[in-house]
Amino acid sequence: MKAKFFLFVFSFFLTSSLFSQGLTFGIKAGANLGKIDGHAFKDEYNLGYHVGAFATLGAGKWAIQPEVLFNQVNTDTATSFNEITQLHNVGQIQLRSLTIPIMVNYNLSNILAIQAGPQFGILLDKSKNLVQNGKDAFKSGDFSMAAGLQLKVTKFRVYGRFVGGLTDLNNLNNNDTWKVQMIQVGVGLAL
């Protein structure tokens, strides 16, 4: 009981401190160069996109930047895809997901910040033909780590980051591991 009380008090003061330092909301959009890393997929990045919103809490050297993004990742299957999955005539796969990155910003200067943090994803839509014996080929959830840089000039943001999947998305009973890898580049506008 005491631990819960102290955790509540600590959270209250931390939140109060962050809110007193500044809260900013904004929108962002950009390009994804993404792929699924695994034997069943070609080892090349394909163009996709992301769009969403962000909030920044904090000031000074440290800030927290939670985001909500809609992502589309496009990838091409390799010739071994049919053998590994026993799914046929599948060339390109589109994965659409809702992702929630929680970035920690360390401000190197007034305009440049290093960002790093976890990203949680929920697969919204898979290519409809990716079903084997009534079972989806891809798992519905994803956990990744992201890191990159962000430039801030007045209300505008320009950013680039790498997102590396930690979760195996393969929902089929085989030994191939499927993990998302993305390079994201985009712009944002604080409102």
The per-residue pLDDT for 24 is 95
The per-residue pLDDT for 171 is 78
The per-residue pLDDT for 124 is 87
The verdict on residue 100 lying in a domain is yes
* Token pair of 131 as six digits: 């079903």
The per-residue pLDDT for 115 is 98
- Mind spelling out the 3-state secondary structure of 129-153? CCEECCEECECCEEEEEEEEEEEEE
The per-residue pLDDT for 55 is 98
The verdict on residue 76 lying in a domain is yes
The verdict on residue 3 lying in a domain is no
d(CA 41, CA 26): 35
The verdict on residue 72 lying in a domain is yes
pLDDT tens digit sequence for 5-45: 545 545 554 555 555 568 999 999 999 999 988 877 888 89
The verdict on residue 85 lying in a domain is yes
pLDDT tens digit sequence for 119-160: 999 988 755 445 554 457 788 889 999 999 999 999 999 999
The CA dihedral of 163, 142, 46, 87, to the nearest 10 degrees, is 150
The verdict on residue 87 lying in a domain is yes
The verdict on residue 177 lying in a domain is yes
The verdict on residue 40 lying in a domain is yes
Percent of the residues in the chain that have a pLDDT greater than 90, as a whole number? 54
Give which of 184, 98, 96, 121 is closest to 147, Cα–Cα. 184
d(CA 136, CA 41): 17
Mean pLDDT along residues 161-170? 93
pLDDT tens digit sequence for 48-100: 999 999 999 998 899 999 999 999 988 877 666 655 555 555 567 888 999 99
- CATH number of the domain residue 129 falls in: 2.40.160
CA dihedral over 104, 121, 158, 188, signed as positive or negative: negative
Q: Which domain holds residue 97?
A: 20-190
What does the mean pLDDT of the chain come to?
Answer: 83
Q: What is the count of structural domains for the chain?
A: 1
Q: How far is CA 171 from CA 95, 138, 186, in A?
A: 14, 5, 31
